[in-house]
Amino acid sequence: MKKLKLVMIGNGMAGCRTLEELIKLAPDMYDITVFGAEPHPNYNRILLSPVLAGEMTLPDIVLNDLAWYEANDITLHAGKTVTKIDRVKRKVIAADGTEAEYDRLLLATGSSPFILPVPGKDLEGVIAYRDIADTEAMIDAARHHKHAVVIGAGLLGLEAANGLKLRGMDVTVVHLADWIMERQLDKTAADLLQKSLEAKGLKFLLGKQTAELVGGESGRVAAIKFKDGESIPAELVVMAVGIRPSTQLAESAGIHCNRGIVVNDTLQTFDPKVYAVGECVAHRGIAYGLVAPLFEQAKVCANHLAMHGIGRYQGSVTSTKLKVTGIDVFSAGDFMGGENVDEIVLHDPAGGVYKKLVLKDDTLVGAVLYGDTADGAWYFQLLKDKQNVAEIRDHLMFGSHHVGDVGHAGQSKAAAMPDTAEVCGCNGVCKGDIVKAIKTHGLFTIDDVRKHTKASSSCGSCTGLVEQILASTVGGAYQPADTKDKPVCGCTEHPHGAVRAAIREQHLLTIPEVMHFMEWKTPNGCASCRPALNYYLISTWPHEAKDDPQSRFINERAHANIQRDGTYSVIPRMWGGLTTPAELRVIADVAEKYEVPTVKMTGGARIDLLGIPKDKLPAVWADLGKGGLVSGHAYGKSIRTVKTCVGAEHCRFGTQLSMSMGVKLEKMLFGMWAPHKVKLAVSGCPRNCAEAGIKDVGVIGVDSGYELYVAGNGGIKTEVAMFLCKVKSDEEVMEYSAAFLQLYREEAYYLERTCHYVARVGLEHVKKIVVENAPRRKELHERLLFALQDYEDPWGEAVAKPVKRKEYEILEIA
């Protein structure tokens, strides 16, 4: 098949990220030609400041070296500026006459620095701060001159001032506004930052308007004069007063521009053959200057260039993170406050800490942090996801580790950690390894870090630390994962919610149907998406969709837990931890017959037979089945156990029959597949010996009935279950528990624990449906019973006639 021709004008970060994404999706679709005005391969503009400060060198910040272009068969015309686009003949022409034809054209022309239109702006020594050439000019000026003036106290201006100060220059920052970084900080935070920077030797002149740049005898700038008549010496003037989208080339070709090259949600321009990304773009009237939204644009644009046609860019919520001479600041959203909003403020000038959170209708809409920015990424995620924070409002100021936000614990530790400190214990990755990978490969997302270092790719408990290291290393380019719109896997752009909705609304019944309807990028999916699709199908259409064993993990296919040495563990079910002598004899006989090397009691009060070879599993289950024993499902994303204490059946403190209640719940839920494993516990009194407070559903007996708790987790990061409601009878316990679990089954994403699910949707959402809406609760209860009514435990192909649920006699006392 003949390749299409793709030409990209611009060789910056947004454009090259688009090519990287495109090559992943459609590596053989295009012959690619790139024109770059600078004589360099793609480099990280964000790291120009460390180069200026002497912390890095120019080779350190190259993102895609020349070998990358060659390896991907990309023709690079470096140092060649395109001067004309012929949309009729579909070709571009560079200043030196170089031409290239295109089937698709990608404009990534970036932006140009704004130069104040004042007398003397063309003098030698007056520069902008935008690229490698500007950085080299500033480094050279610092070697030969003393006085520098930076006009503009925004993000870029302060970084330039800091770098020049470290190079030994006497630096004055001139700013028109009343406080520095007025677009990123409120006045209180700005004053704290200015005071700290002044202590480092920087000078500030605020509320000053430049009238003229005065030249010396050599033709170089010598001073700057203000409209109030004051003047100061200046042998180097750096203008950092803003940028403007570079649209001249597009306008000359007749492409619609309005404060940027106008694009739609697919990043197409007025001409459907021409796409645009980056700082040159105006999307819904907004031009973005930070890297994170530009990379979001790149992903969507690549999707459409690859002709998948399912990505949509709908704008970005942005944040700013800056580190100047060791001072951390962060801001996001509408942090200025005003009418009809609430402000939560912590101000400790002596300690160098200032935090302001702005809330509207119990939703975080803005945040500004100074000094302690450890929770910046967490606040930004709350803001992006528009999460209701009513339940954590009292603790919101103190950060995620006080609130218990999953995946962000310990973020405040990251900045103080040495490079040798281990971050990811599962894969043995140190902080230094992560920082090196981020800088070497130009990483900006947590997924990128996982791919290059494996950190956070196993148990996930170190995700918060990795995110904080990433955020502090790349600053404003950090892209927190969008928990609501994250794709199921690399095979699709669709998030879990969209997949579930399509299966339900389109009545899809098989994995191939889902993949065809949703235009999966791979023909057969992968180990991440197939189990998820299989679960969504059988949970949505329990008696129509057919379970696909090959789309389950090995433990579920083998009906046993694979162990370190390759043998398997078999756990028969013991309802509520209760057993009989007959069952114990069957287990003992099987252990002897198959020479099981280890027999152990589990934490769920069951007997575990460890060390069984895979080929003996069918026979083992057959013999256990003859004795009436069914699977404990210790291997599945399913109901695991219902842990019980002895309760009022035997205990002198017991107020309710916990063993009886536990068996009823376990029998009701037997065969229930779920997004993740589910554990329950029933304690007969508030002493809570069954540890119900850290279970997915916890039931605690009290004198007047039961208290129900949900979304607990006793795993790597313990989550205390949250109080749901109080009920009076066993029947209500079963109804409310079933309703909650069915809601979880229908709304949670695959591999999302109940604690993560409730954190995402909010406990109030669960209460409104399960506790306050009786008809809806009963519907959920009935749907769960309907899904489980015909469940039989097959143990693979081991038993010809599966054994159904066994009935037990439970001792009940008056």
Q: For the CA atoms of 474, 478, 481, 487, what is the dihedral angle to 10 degrees?
A: -90
For residues 587 and 609, is the Cβ–Cβ distance under 8 A? Answer: yes
Which residues make beta-bridge pairs with 292? none
* Buried/exposed code over 23-47 (b: 16+ C-beta within 10 A; e: otherwise): bebbeebbbbbbbbbbebbbbbbbb
Question: Comparing C-alpha atoms, which of 257, 295, 258, 266 is closest to residue 278?
Answer: 295
Question: Comparing C-alpha atoms, which of 49, 43, 136, 48 is closest to residue 325?
Answer: 49
DSSP string, 18-43: HHHHHHHH-TTSEEEEEEESSSS-EE
Going from the C-alpha of 723 to that of each of 66, 239, 467, 547, 744, the distances in angstroms are 59, 57, 31, 35, 16
Rounded to an integer, what distance in angstroms lies between the CA atom of residue 77 and that of residue 90? Answer: 18
Helix (H) or strand (E) holding 133: helix 132-144
Local structure of residue 374 (DSSP, 8 states): T
Residue 627 backbone phi and psi in degrees, to 5: -90, 5
For residues 219 and 379, is the Cβ–Cβ distance under 8 A? Answer: no
Token pair recorded at residue 557: 């296919």
* Buried/exposed code over 421-449 (b: 16+ C-beta within 10 A; e: otherwise): eebbeebebbbebbbebbbeebbbbbebb
Going from the C-alpha of 395 to that of each of 351, 369, 390, 401, 407, the distances in angstroms are 20, 16, 10, 10, 17
Token pair recorded at residue 342: 């609430």
Q: Where would I find the beta strands (DSSP E) of 504-567?
A: 561-562
Token pair recorded at residue 498: 């969209």
Helix (H) or strand (E) holding 323: strand 319-324
645 is in an annotated binding site: yes
Rounded to an integer, what distance in angstroms lies between the CA atom of residue 280 and that of residue 283? Answer: 10
651 is in an annotated binding site: yes
- Annotated binding residues for [4Fe-4S] cluster, as ranges? 645, 651, 685, 689
- Annotated binding residues, as ranges? 645, 651, 685, 689
- Annotated binding residues for siroheme, as ranges? 689
